[in-house]
C-alpha cells in the first residue's frame, strides 16, 4: 500500500532462446504515474524485454511482479487481462478496418442474448469517437478505415484503446520513431497525459529528444544486460545521449566526420589548384 | 489539439459540414459489394435485352438461373468468410465429391437411414476442416498449399473408397430412401408449393394442361443459399466473431496481440467451408438421386471467382457475403443466359475469366480509393 510500491517490477529476469542469451539478469521497477524510458541500441534486448513483460515470451529465470505479486503470463491475453497493455511498433491496427472495429478488436461490446448477441455499434461508435476526442483527435466518422488516419493519429488510437480498456501499465514500443515532428508531439503529449492519469508507462525509443521531456527515469540496455537505471534529476540530455549510443563511439564518429571534412576541403583546394583534375587522376594511375 | 482559441470559431465548426462531403455515392463506392452489384445490374440488363422472347425471365427460367446461382452461392458464402479471414480452401470441390459418396454408400449399400449417412458426411467434413485449419495454423504454410494437398487427397479418397466398397465410382438409388426421412427432406424438394398452387388457382402464374402450376415451388437449394448468405452477413457485420474474422484476415499478428483467438477463428472457418461443401453435396445427391466421385470438380475455383467478383480481397481482411452471393448470381445469370441466347456455351469460360480479371482490377482500384477517402 506504500507510495513506493512499484506497479510492475522485474527481478533478475533472463531470457534464453536456445543458446542465445537475449536478456540476462535484468531488474527494473516502474511506478504508477511515472514514465520509464527504455533505451538501447539495436539488438540490446529492448524488444525481448517488452515481449517478456507483455506475455509473448516467458522469462527463463527471474520473476515478474505486478503490484507486488509474482505473476506469470501464459499469453498476451493474460497480460492484457492483468492490465498490461502493449502498443507494438506495428500498432496492432488493421488499416482496412474501421476505427471502431479496430478500437474494440477482441473486446467488442455486445447487446442481446444467445444467438441474438450482437455488437452494440451505436455504443461502440460513440465511445470510439469520445475517446479519440479526449486525446484531441476529432474523428469525423468512426466507421472510416484506420488506413485513412495519419501515423500519429493511428498511434493515438492504439494508445487510447489501451487506456480505455483499463491498462495499468502501458508499454509503448517506439511510438514516435516513424512520425514527423508534429505528430510525435501529439503522441508525447498523450504519454504525458497517461502518466498524469496514474499509469505506469514504459516508453521505448531511440530518440533522446522524445524521451527526455516525458521520462522520469531511464533504463539502459546493452547486449542483453542492463547498464543501470537513472533518474532524470541525476542526469542530463547529453549524458543520456552518450550512454545510449555508447559515448566513445559517438566521439570517434565525430572525429571521423571531421576527418572527412578536412580531406574534402583539401581535395577541393587541390582541384582548384591543378590545371585539370582529369590529368591528375590519369597521372595517379 | 484544437488550436483555435476563439470559442466562436469553435462554434462555427459544425460536424455536419464535414460529413456532407462524404456523398452517398462515395459511401456506396466504398462498400465491397458495390462492384458486384453494378456487375449484376449490367449483366441482368444485357440478358433482359439479349434473351427477350426466349423465356429466360419467365418464372421457370428465373428459377433455373437462381438454382445454378444457389448451388454455387452456398459454397461461395463459406469461401467468402474464409477469404476475409485470410485463407483459401481449394479442397471444397473434392469435399463435395467425397461427401456425396459418404452419403450414398452407407444409405444404398449398407441400409443406413439417410439421416445417419448425412450426419456421417457432416462429421467427416468437420474433421477435414479441422485438419485443414490446424495444418495451416501449426505449420504456417500458405493455405493454398495445404488445401491443394487436400484437393487431391479427398478426391483420391472418394474414388478409392467407393471403388473398394462398391467396385464402382457412381452410386445411384438414393431417391428410394428419401421419403419419410425428415433430415433428408431438408435437402430435397421445394418449398412454398402450397403458395404456388394457390397462385396458379388464382390464375396469377402459368399452368400446364392439367391445371397445375408450371413452377411448383422454390427449390430448397435457393432457400439454403439465401439463409446462409443472411447468416454470414449477420455474423460479419453484427457479431464479435465477425470482427475477429476481419481482424484475422487483415493482420493475424495484430489480431492476436489484441486478444483475438486467431487460430480458433481460422479452424472454424475451414470447418464451415467443408460444411458448406457437404450441404452442396446433400442437395445434389437428393436432387439427382445419385453420387459420383467426380462431382464438384473445379467448384473450389468457381467459388473463389464468385467471392472475388463479390469484392473480397485475395489477401484477406476485406469483403462481404452479400458480394459473394451477387458473384454467384452473376455466374448463374451468365451460364444460363448464354444457353438461352443461343451463344455457343464454349464462350462461357472466356467470359468468366475476363469477369474475374475485371473484378480484381476494380477491387484494387476501389481499395485504394477507400484508403484515400479521408
Binned at pLDDT 50, 70 and 90, residue A279 comes out as very low
What domain range includes position A195?
8-96+145-235
Block residue for cell numbers 529465470: A61
3-state secondary structure of B217: coil
Report yes or no on A253 lying in a domain.
yes
User: Do A181 and A64 lie in a common domain?
Assistant: yes
Q: How far apart are CA B265 and CA B321, in angstroms?
A: 17
Grid coordinates representing B192 are 412454398
Same domain flag for A34 and A159 = yes
Tell me whether A145 touches chain B (CB under 8 Å). Answer: yes
Domain of A74, CATH number, reads 3.40.50.300
pLDDT of residue B237: 93
A120 at the B interface (CB within 8 A)? no
CA dist B76 and B33 (Å) reads 14
Same domain (yes/no): A36, A156: yes
What pLDDT does residue B102 have? 94
- Does the CB of A122 have a partner CB in chain B at under 8 Å? no
Quick check: is A171 in a domain?
Answer: yes
> Which of the residues B23, B236, B238, B243 would you substitute to probe the A interface, choosing the one with the greatest number of A C-beta atoms within 10 Å?
B243
How far away is chain B from the Cα of A108, in angstroms, using its nearest Cα? 6
Interface check for B344 against chain A (CB to CB < 8 A): the answer is no
Instruction: Give the DSSP per-residue string, chain A.
Output: --TT--SEEEEEEEEEETTEEEEEEEEEEE-TTEEEEEEE-TTSSHHHHHHHHTTSS--SEEEEEETTEEE--SSHHHHHHTTEEEE-TTTT--TTSBHHHHHTTTS--EES-GGG-EE-HHHHHHHHHHHHHHTT---S-TTSBGGGS-HHHHHHHHHHHHHHTT-SEEEEESTTTT--HHHHHHHHHHHHHHHHTT-EEEEE-S-HHHHHHH-SEEEEEETTEEEEEEEGGG--HHHHHHHHH-HHHHHHHHHHHHHHHHHHHHHHHHHHHSS-HHHHHHHH-
B138 close contact with A: CB closer than 8 A: no
The number of domains in chain A is 2
Task: Locate B323 and state its grid cell.
Answer: 458480394
In the block, which residue shows the cell 460536424?
Answer: B15
Q: What is the Cα–Cα distance from B331 to B70, expressed in whole angstroms?
A: 10
pLDDT digits (tens, 9 = 90+) for A175-192: 777 777 777 887 888 888
Distance CA(B279)–CA(B285), nearest Å, equals 10
* Count of other CB atoms within 10 angstroms of residue A265: 10
Handedness of CA B189, B195, B198, B200 (dihedral sign): negative
- Non-local (6+) Cβ contacts of A270 within 8 A are A280
The strands making up A84-87's β-sheet, listed across from edge to edge, are A84-87, A169-173, A200-204, A34-40, A217-222, A225-231
A chain contacts of residue B254, beta-carbon cutoff 8 Å = 88, 90-94
Q: Is the pLDDT of residue A159 over 60?
A: yes
**Nearest 5°: CA angle at B350, between B348 and B356?**
100
Residue B194 grid coordinates: 402450397
pTM of the model: 0.82
Q: Considering CB atoms only, which of A96, A121, A137 is closest to B317?
A: A96
At A192-240, the pLDDT tens digits run 888 888 888 998 887 778 888 888 888 888 888 887 788 888 877 777 7
| pLDDT (0 to 100) of residue B263 | 95
Same domain, A184 and A208: yes
Question: Confidence band (pLDDT; 50, 70, 90) for A74?
Answer: confident
**Chain B residues touching residue A145 (CB < 8 angstroms):** 370-371
Given a cut of 70, the residues of chain B with pLDDT beneath it are 1-24, 26-27, 370-374
Last residue of a domain, one of A193, A216, A235: A235
A40 and A21 in a single domain? The answer is yes
Burial of B41 (0-12, 13-18, 19+ CB in 10 A): exposed
pLDDT 10s digits, A91-107: 678 888 899 999 998 88
Judgement on whether residues A227 and A282 belong to the same structural domain of the protein: no
Q: Dig out the grid coordinates for B241 from the structure.
A: 466473431
Q: Are A58 and A25 contacting, i.e. CB atoms less than 8 angstroms apart?
A: no
Per-residue model confidence (pLDDT) at position B71: 94
- Res. A3 pLDDT band, cuts 50 70 90: low
Q: Which of B277, B286, B248, B289 is nearest to B265 (CA)?
A: B248
Q: What span, in angstroms and rounded, lies between the C-alpha atoms of B257 and A199?
A: 20
Instruction: Return the pLDDT at B244.
Output: 95
Q: Which among B19, B370, B372 is the nearest to A141, CB-wise?
A: B19
In a shared domain, residues A197 and A253:
no
Partners of residue A164 in chain B, C-beta under 8 Å:
none
Listed range (A36-45, A203-212, A241-250, B84-93) with the worst mean pLDDT: A241-250
Q: Is residue A61 part of a domain?
A: yes
Rounded CA separation B262/B252 (Å): 7
Q: Cell 480484381: give the residue.
A: B360
The reply to whether A27 and A163 lie within a common domain is: yes
User: Domain end: A197, A213, A235, which one?
Assistant: A235
- What CA–CA distances, in Å, run from A31 to A34, A165, B110? 6, 19, 72
Element (H, E) at B219: strand B218-219
Cα–Cα dist B136/B145, whole Å: 9
C-alpha cell at A18: 536456445
- Model pLDDT, residue B81: 97
* Pair (A45, A86) in one structural domain: yes
Is A149 in the same domain as A267? Answer: no
Residue A218 and residue A264 share a domain: no
Establish if A227 belongs to a structural domain. Answer: yes
Q: Is residue A131 part of a domain?
A: no
User: Does the residue A211 lie in any domain?
Assistant: yes
Q: Quick check: is A43 in a domain?
A: yes
Is position A110 within any domain? Answer: no
* Helix or strand holding residue B291 (H, E): strand B291-292
Examine the domain organization and report whether A188 and A262 are in the same domain.
Answer: no
ipTM: 0.80
Residue A112 CA to residue A277 CA, distance in Å, equals 83
Residues in chain A within 8 Å Cβ distance of B255: 92, 94, 105-106
Amino acid at each position: 500500500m506504500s507510495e513506493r510500491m512499484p506497479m510492475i517490477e522485474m527481478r533478475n529476469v533472463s531470457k534464453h532462446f536456445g543458446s542465445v542469451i537475449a536478456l540476462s539478469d535484468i531488474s527494473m521497477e516502474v511506478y504508477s504515474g511515472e514514465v520509464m524510458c527504455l533505451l538501447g541500441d539495436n539488438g540490446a534486448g529492448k524488444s525481448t524485454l517488452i515481449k517478456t513483460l507483455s506475455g509473448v515470451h516467458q522469462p527463463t529465470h527471474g520473476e515478474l511482479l505486478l503490484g507486488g505479486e509474482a505473476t506469470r503470463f501464459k499469453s498476451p491475453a493474460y497480460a492484457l487481462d492483468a492490465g498490461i497493455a502493449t502498443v507494438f511498433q506495428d500498432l496492432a491496427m488493421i488499416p482496412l478496418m474501421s476505427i471502431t472495429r479496430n478500437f474494440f478488436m477482441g473486446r467488442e461490446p455486445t447487446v442481446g442474448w444467445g444467438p441474438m448477441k450482437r455488437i452494440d455499434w451505436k455504443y461502440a461508435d460513440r465511445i470510439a469517437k469520445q475517446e479519440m476526442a479526449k486525446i484531441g483527435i476529432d474523428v469525423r466518422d468512426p466507421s472510416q478505415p484506420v488506413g485513412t488516419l495519419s501515423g500519429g493519429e493511428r498511434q493515438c488510437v492504439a494508445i487510447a484503446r489501451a487506456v480505455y480498456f483499463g491498462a495499468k501499465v502501458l508499454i509503448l514500443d517506439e511510438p514516435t520513431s516513424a512520425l514527423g515532428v508534429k505528430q510525435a508531439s501529439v503522441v508525447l503529449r498523450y504519454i504525458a497525459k497517461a502518466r498524469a492519469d496514474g499509469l505506469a508507462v514504459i516508453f521505448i525509443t531511440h530518440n533522446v529528444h522524445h524521451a527526455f521531456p516525458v521520462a522520469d527515469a531511464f533504463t539502459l540496455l546493452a547486449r542483453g544486460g542492463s547498464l543501470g537505471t537513472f533518474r532524470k534529476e541525476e542526469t542530463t540530455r547529453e549524458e543520456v545521449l552518450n550512454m545510449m549510443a555508447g559515448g566513445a563511439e559517438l566521439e570517434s564518429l565525430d572525429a571521423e566526420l571531421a576527418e572527412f571534412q578536412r580531406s574534402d576541403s583539401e581535395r577541393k583546394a587541390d582541384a582548384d589548384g591543378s590545371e585539370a583534375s582529369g590529368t591528375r587522376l590519369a597521372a595517379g594511375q | 489539439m484544437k488550436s483555435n482559441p476563439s470559442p466562436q470559431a469553435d462554434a462555427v465548426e459544425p460536424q455536419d459540414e464535414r460529413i456532407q462531403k462524404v456523398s452517398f455515392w462515395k459511401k456506396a463506392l466504398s462498400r465491397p459489394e458495390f462492384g458486384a452489384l453494378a456487375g449484376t445490374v449490367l449483366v441482368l440488363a444485357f440478358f433482359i435485352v439479349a434473351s427477350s422472347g426466349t423465356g429466360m425471365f419467365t418464372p421457370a427460367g428465373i428459377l433455373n438461373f437462381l438454382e445454378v446461382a444457389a448451388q454455387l452461392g452456398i459454397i461461395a458464402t463459406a469461401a467468402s468468410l474464409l477469404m476475409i479471414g485470410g485463407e483459401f480452401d481449394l479442397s471444397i470441390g473434392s469435399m463435395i465429391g467425397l461427401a456425396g459418396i459418404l452419403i450414398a454408400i452407407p444409405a444404398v449399400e449398407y441400409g443406413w437411414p439417410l439421416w445417419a449417412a448425412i450426419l456421417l458426411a457432416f462429421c467427416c467434413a468437420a474433421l477435414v476442416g479441422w485438419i485443414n485449419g490446424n495444418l495451416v495454423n501449426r505449420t504456417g504454410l500458405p493455405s493454398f498449399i495445404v488445401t491443394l494437398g487436400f484437393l487431391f487427397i479427398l478426391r483420391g479418397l472418394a474414388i478409392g473408397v467407393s471403388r473398394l466398397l462398391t467396385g464402382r465410382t457412381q452410386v445411384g438409388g438414393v431417391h428410394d430412401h428419401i421419403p419419410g426421412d425428415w433430415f433428408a427432406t431438408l435437402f430435397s424438394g421445394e418449398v412454398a408449393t402450397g403458395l404456388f398452387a394457390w397462385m396458379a388457382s388464382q390464375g396469377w402464374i402459368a399452368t400446364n394442361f392439367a391445371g397445375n402450376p408450371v413452377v411448383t415451388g422454390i427449390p430448397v437449394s435457393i432457400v439454403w443459399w439465401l439463409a446462409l448468405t443472411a447468416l454470414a452477413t449477420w455474423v460479419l457485420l453484427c457479431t464479435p466473431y465477425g470482427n475477429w474474422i476481419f481482424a484475422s484476415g487483415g493482420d493475424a499478428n495484430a489480431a492476436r496481440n489484441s486478444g483475438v483467438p486467431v487460430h480458433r477463428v481460422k479452424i472454424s472457418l475451414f470447418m464451415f467451408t467443408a460444411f458448406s461443401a457437404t450441404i452442396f453435396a446433400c442437395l445434389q445427391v437428393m436432387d439427382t438421386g445419385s453420387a459420383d466421385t467426380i462431382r464438384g470438380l473445379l467448384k473450389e475455383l468457381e467459388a473463389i471467382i464468385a467471392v472475388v467478383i463479390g469484392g473480397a480481397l485475395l489477401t484477406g481482411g476485406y469483403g462481404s457475403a452479400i458480394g459473394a452471393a451477387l458473384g454467384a448470381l452473376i455466374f448463374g445469370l451468365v451460364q444460363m443466359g448464354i444457353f438461352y441466347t443461343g451463344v455457343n456455351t464454349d464462350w462461357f469460360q472466356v467470359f468468366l475469366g475476363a469477369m474475374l480479371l475485371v473484378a480484381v482490377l476494380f477491387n484494387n482500384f476501389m481499395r485504394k480509393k477507400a484508403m484515400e477517402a479521408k
